Amino acid sequence: MPCALASLGARVRNDIFINMNNLTALSLTETIEGLGKKEFSEAGLNQAYGERIKKLNPDLNAFLEVKENKSGIPAGIKDLIAVKGRQMTCGSKILEGYIAPYNATVIDKLKENNISFIGKTNLDEFAMGSSGENSAYGSVKNPWDKNKVPGGSSSGSAVAVAADLCTFALGTDTGGSIRQPASLCGVVGLKPSYGRVSRYGAQAMASSLDQIGPITKTVADARKVLEWISGPDAYDSNAVSASFKSTNRKDLKGLRVGIPKEYFGKGLDAGVEKVIKVAIKKLEDLGATTVEVSLPHTQYALATYYLIITSEISSNLARYDGIRFGSTRDKFGAEPKRRIMLGTFALSAGYFDDYFIKAAKVRTLVKQDFEKAFEGCNVITGPVSPTVAWNLGEKISDPLTMYLSDVYTIPASLAGIPGLSVPCGFSQDLPVGLQILGKYLDEDTILSVGELYEQATNWNKQKPRLQTPERSDGGQAKL
Partner 1 sequence: MAKSTKIDIDHVSKLANLPLPDEQKRIFASQLTKILDYIEKIEKADTKNVEPTFNVTPNKNVTRKDTAGTCLTQDEALQNSKNTKNGQFVTKGVFKSE
From 195, 418, 433, 450, residue interacting with partner 1 (rule: CB under 8 A): 195
253 in active site: no
What minimum distance in Å lies between the beta carbon of 358 and partner 1?
6
> 351-378 b/e with 16+ CB inside 10 Å = b?
eeeebbebbeebbeebbebbeebbeebb
Phi/psi for 171 (5° steps) reads -130, 180
Q: Which long-range contacts (CB under 8 A, 24 or more apart) does 7-10 make?
A: none
- What gap in Å lies between CA 206 and CA 49, rounded to an integer? 33
From 290, 344, 387, 427, residue interacting with partner 1 (rule: CB under 8 A): 344
Per DSSP bridges, beta strands 379-383 and 256-260 are parallel
From 38, 250, 324, 465, residue interacting with partner 1 (rule: CB under 8 A): 324
Instruction: Name the residue among 165, 206, 190 with its Cα closest to residue 409.
Output: 190
Site residues for partner 1, 285-304, by CB under 8 A, read 297, 299-300, 302-304
216 is an interface residue for partner 1 by CB under 8 A: no
What is the size of the binding site for partner 1 (CB under 8 A)?
A: 59
What minimum distance in Å lies between the beta carbon of 324 and partner 1?
6
* Shorter beta-carbon distance to partner 1: residue 72 or 91: 91
Catalytic: which of 130, 177, 183, 421?
177
From 3, 270, 323, 479, residue interacting with partner 1 (rule: CB under 8 A): 323
From 250, 400, 473, 479, residue interacting with partner 1 (rule: CB under 8 A): 400
472 in active site: no
Which span (13-21, 22-30, 95-103, 272-280) binds partner 1, by CB under 8 A?
Answer: 95-103
- What gap in Å lies between CA 389 and CA 259, rounded to an integer? 23
Q: How far, CA to CA in Å, does 198 sit from each of 54, 189, 192, 236, 290?
A: 32, 18, 11, 6, 34
* Shorter beta-carbon distance to partner 1: residue 184 or 342: 342
Instruction: Name the residue among 389, 424, 421, 429 with its Cα closest to residue 405.
Output: 389
- What gap in Å lies between CA 164 and CA 99, rounded to an integer? 27
From 341, 393, 455, 469, residue interacting with partner 1 (rule: CB under 8 A): 341
384 is an interface residue for partner 1 by CB under 8 A: no
315 in active site: no
**Residue partners of 443: CB distance under 8 A and separation at least 6:** 190, 192, 193, 196, 226, 244, 418, 420
What minimum distance in Å lies between the beta carbon of 252 and partner 1?
28
Site string for partner 1, 172-191 (x = CB under 8 A): --------------------
Q: With beta carbons less than 8 A apart as the criterion, state whether 86 and 99 touch.
A: yes
From 3, 4, 6, 234, residue interacting with partner 1 (rule: CB under 8 A): 234
The enclosing H or E element of 312 equals: helix 298-316
- What gap in Å lies between CA 132 and CA 125, rounded to an integer? 9
> 243-257 b/e with 16+ CB inside 10 Å = b?
ebeeeebeebeebbb
Catalytic residues: 78, 153, 177
Q: Which residues are at the interface with partner 1 (CB under 8 A)? A: 97-99, 101-102, 194-195, 208, 234, 237-238, 240, 297, 299-300, 302-304, 306-307, 314, 318, 321-327, 329-330, 332, 334, 337-338, 340-342, 344-345, 348, 354-355, 357-365, 367, 399-400, 403, 415-416, 440
